[in-house]
Amino acid sequence: MARTLYMRVAYDGTDFHGWQTQPGLRTVQDVLEQAVRRVVRHQVELIGSGRTDAGVHAAGQVASFSTTCLLPPRRLRYAIGARLPKDVSLKVMRDVHPEFHATWNARSKLYRYRVFNVPHRPVEHLDQRYTYHFWQQVDLDRMRAAARYFLGEMDFAAMASKGPERTTTMRTVLRCDVERRFDEILVDVEGTGFLYNQVRNMVGTLLEVGRGRWQPEYVRDILLSRDRQNAGPTAPARGLCLQWVRYPAYVLVPPAEPGSEADGGPGLRCEPPPDGPDAVAVD
């Protein structure tokens, strides 16, 4: 009988052409699928929580697949992980509910954007692959004031680059936090879903406000215009990382054995923990 497995992976996106399979190009999905197939010895198709673009990194990307392989999750994790290249790491593997779907069941995602904000380059910290060097001085209070206009459910057409067709440009941003940590500015954006390049365009717009080009309230006018040309530039992919994806607890729990009193359905507590990626503890 087939079982559904949950995978949480991290990867350095620098040398990948994004997550999704593309003929003739190196993608994260292809690399993972090849490793999984070698272990379970049958064809599999990974379902990711969403696409990350070329050059974008992940600390907590989630994928799922079905298999008839009977190896326990811990042994599968070691066997698959040993067959991955050095820029990909399989962090967690677990049995989940058969109906778990990494894309459809996702409740929210957190992306972090790292801006190296001092005159000298980030090479001394070996962070040139993972941060955007923005040398101009910025005002964090102005950026925080501007970030508040991104909160809530609204039309984010002005923050969407041309890309795959979408039925709507309405999206919900749950939080948009801006903080400085030593030489870096961190922009954390949590939402229920994102348009193509949305987070990178939001960051580019916030930096324009921070350096004094626009007043914070101008972000409201940009959003109302629904015109991408009115927003800031697209921040480079190398500064963006998918931190985690949240799911309701019941889809992360395997079905109870027949006759068991365990409840694997929606009656379980579904609120996510305040500081973790999932609604339940992970291996």
The pLDDT tens digits for 92-140 are 999 999 999 999 999 999 999 999 999 888 888 888 999 999 999 999 9
CA 214, CA 193: separation in Å to the nearest integer? 27
CATH number of the domain residue 216 falls in = 3.30.70.660
Q: Domain total for the chain?
A: 2
Strands (E), the chain: 3-11, 47-48, 57-67, 88-96, 108-116, 132-133, 152-155, 170-181, 184-191, 240-246
Q: In the numeric block, which tokens belong to residue 271? A: 């609120």
Claim to verify: residue 129 and residue 217 sit in the same structural domain:
yes
Distances (CA, A) of 271 to 188, 193, 267: 20, 18, 12
- pLDDT tens across 139-194, in order? 999 999 999 999 999 999 999 988 666 789 999 999 999 999 999 999 999 999 99
* Proportion of the chain above pLDDT 90, given as a percent: 81
Tokens of 65: 């697949």
Query: What is the model's pLDDT at position 163?
Result: 66
Residues 116 and 98 in one domain: no
- Mean pLDDT value of segment 35-64: 94
Same domain, 127 and 213: yes
Catalytic residue chosen out of the listed positions 53, 177, 183, 227: 53
Evaluate whether residue 259 is within a structural domain: no
Collapsed DSSP state (helix, strand, coil) of residue 175:
strand
Of the listed ranges 57-66, 79-88, 273-282, the least confidently predicted one is 273-282
Looking at the structure, tell me whether residues 73 and 10 fall in a common domain: yes
State how far the Cα of 39 lies from the Cα of 77, in Å rounded to an integer: 10
Pick from 273, 252, 250: which is nearest to 263 by CA?
250
For 10, the token pair is: 């991290």
For residue 87, give both structure tokens: 């820029």
The verdict on residue 140 lying in a domain is yes
> Do 137 and 232 share a domain, yes or no?
yes
**Whether residue 259 has pLDDT greater than 60:** no
Q: Is 64 a residue whose pLDDT tops 80? A: yes
Contact 224, 154 (CB under 8 A): no
Q: Residue 114's pLDDT is what?
A: 97
Residues 79 and 130 in one domain: no
Query: What span, in angstroms and rounded, lies between the C-alpha atoms of 36 and 13?
Result: 19
Judge whether 128 lies within some domain: yes
Of 4-13, 26-35, 65-74, 272-281, least confident by mean pLDDT is 272-281
Q: Is residue 144, in this structure, part of any structural domain at all? A: yes
Task: Kindly list the distances between the CA atom of residue 172 and the CA atoms of 147, 191, 198, in Å, as whole numbers in the listed order.
Answer: 14, 6, 12
How would you label 60-69 residue by residue, b for 16+ Cβ within 10 Å and e otherwise? bbbbbbbbeb
Q: Show the tokens assigned to 68.
A: 């008839």
205-241, pLDDT tens digit by residue? Answer: 999 999 999 999 999 999 999 999 999 999 999 999 9
If you average pLDDT over each of 37-46, 158-167, 247-256, which comes out highest?
37-46
Residue 93 shares a structural domain with residue 131? no
pTM across the whole model? 0.88
Amino acid at residue number 21 = T
Q: CATH code at 51?
A: 3.30.70.580
Q: Mark whether 113 and 228 lie in a shared domain.
A: yes
Structural domain contains residue 201: yes
Q: Are strands 57-67 and 240-246 parallel, antiparallel or unpaired?
A: parallel
Q: Which domain holds residue 77?
A: 3-105+247-252
Report yes or no on 258 lying in a domain. Answer: no
Nearest to 42 by CA among 64, 77, 65, 68: 68
Backbone angles phi, psi at 220, to 5 degrees: -60, -45
100 and 166 in a single domain? The answer is: no
Q: Is 53 a catalytic residue?
A: yes
Tell whether 34 is covered by a domain: yes
131 in the same domain as 68: no
Residue 91 sits in the same domain as residue 126? no
Among the ranges given (97-101, 140-144, 261-265, 267-271), the one the predictor scored with the smallest mean pLDDT: 267-271
Of 28-32, 184-188, 257-261, minimum mean pLDDT range:
257-261
Residues β-bridged to residue 89: 10
Same domain for 126 and 79, yes or no, is: no
Q: Does residue 186 lie within any of the structural domains?
A: yes
